[in-house]
Amino acid sequence: MPQPGGWRGDPVWLAEVLRAEGIAVVEFPGWRRRGHGVFEDVRGIMVHHTGSNAAAAESIAHGRPDLPGPLSQLHIARNGTVTVVAAGVAWHAGVGRYPWLPTNMGNWHTIGIECANTGTSPTAPHRRNWPDAQYDALVAACAAICRRLGYPAERTIGHKEYAGRAQGKWDPGAIDMDVLRRDIAVRIGVVPDGGHGAMLLLRGATGPQVAELQRRLKQAYAAYAGHLRIDGVFGAKTEAAVREFQRRTPGLTVDGIVGPATAAALRLRVVNRPD
């Protein structure tokens, strides 16, 4: 359902960030305004299977008579297409607990990803009945979101890890969450170039990695970045400073976006931990 008012902590950047990751993205009409309320803060990602290989994004967007949609923020089809269904709060988590979540509040603090999959069975081996395209899109989406939020791969959990005890949930089935998190960590960019390969910071970004960028600019380039406030919000002034740095550095595109090349040229320290 459409939600009135603003979108405080809503991940309205989802489509842009997923596309930058190379994912095939479909935007459900009006997704930025859809939700059961706005996010205060997004603390992580929760992965689900829909229970059916054929479950379409529309079923996640609209929900059911007893449970109105959106039922999650993202839907991943078996061909790897990711539909952005909502930016606001969605009903996917229900009751449960996890160390970095307030009890029973998963919906208000996690981005839900529903994958069109039967889950096979609670004891099925990792990736049984998970097409490569779907699994790869899941890994890429989780990595892109974690990177955007400055979180490590550990911030991706399964519904079964949150609600296994409380609700008897076993989704996502045929997904070993530890293996998934390892794959996400690799994708986030624990790579030999110091992590810059995974860097993508642009206007609107927030978090510790942005604060680190501002600190670096302010300290090393005081002539034009000395006035920056280290507030972790990538606004107009941060963008202007990035552009100035790019203008003065041979070989960089002047676009105000901190991608791998600009990050490496800045010798930007990669922040993997949110705290």
* Contacts for 66 with CB less than 8 Å, ≥ 6 apart: none
Cβ-Cβ contacts under 8 Å for 225 (sequence gap 6 or more): 214, 217, 218, 241, 244, 245
**What string marks each residue from 99 to 138 as x (binds Zn ion by CB under 5 A) or -?**
----------------------------------------
Q: Does 75 bind Zn ion (CB under 5 A)?
A: no
Backbone angles phi and psi of 54, in degrees to 5: -100, -5
Identified binder of Zn ion from the candidate list 159, 181, 196, 216, rule CB under 5 A:
159
Applying the rule CB under 5 A, the residues between 50 and 69 that interact with Zn ion are none
Least separation in angstroms between residue 127's CB and Zn ion is 18
Mutual angle of helices 177-188 and 132-149, in 10-degree steps:
60
Q: According to the binding rule CB under 5 A, does residue 171 interact with Zn ion?
A: yes
Residue closer to Zn ion by CB (options 86, 242) is 86
Q: Examine residue 155 and tell whether it contacts Zn ion (CB under 5 A).
A: no
Which listed residue (32, 48, 78, 155) binds Zn ion by CB under 5 A? 48
Q: How many other C-beta atoms lie within 10 A of the C-beta of residue 221?
A: 17
> At its nearest, how many Å lie between Zn ion and the CB of residue 160?
8
Our finding on whether 160 is near Zn ion (CB under 5 A) is: no
Query: Which residues 6+ apart lie within 8 Å of 12 measured at CB?
Result: 32, 87
Stretch near Zn ion under the rule CB under 5 A, chosen from 44-52, 82-90, 146-154, 200-208: 44-52
- Supply angle C-alpha 5, 274, 26, rounded to 5: 50
In terms of CB distance, is 158 or 259 closer to Zn ion?
158
The span of 36-44, 45-53, 56-64, 122-130 binding Zn ion (CB under 5 A) equals: 45-53
Least Å from the CB of residue 34 to Zn ion: 19
Instruction: Summarize as ranges the residues that interact with Zn ion (CB under 5 A).
Output: 48, 159, 171
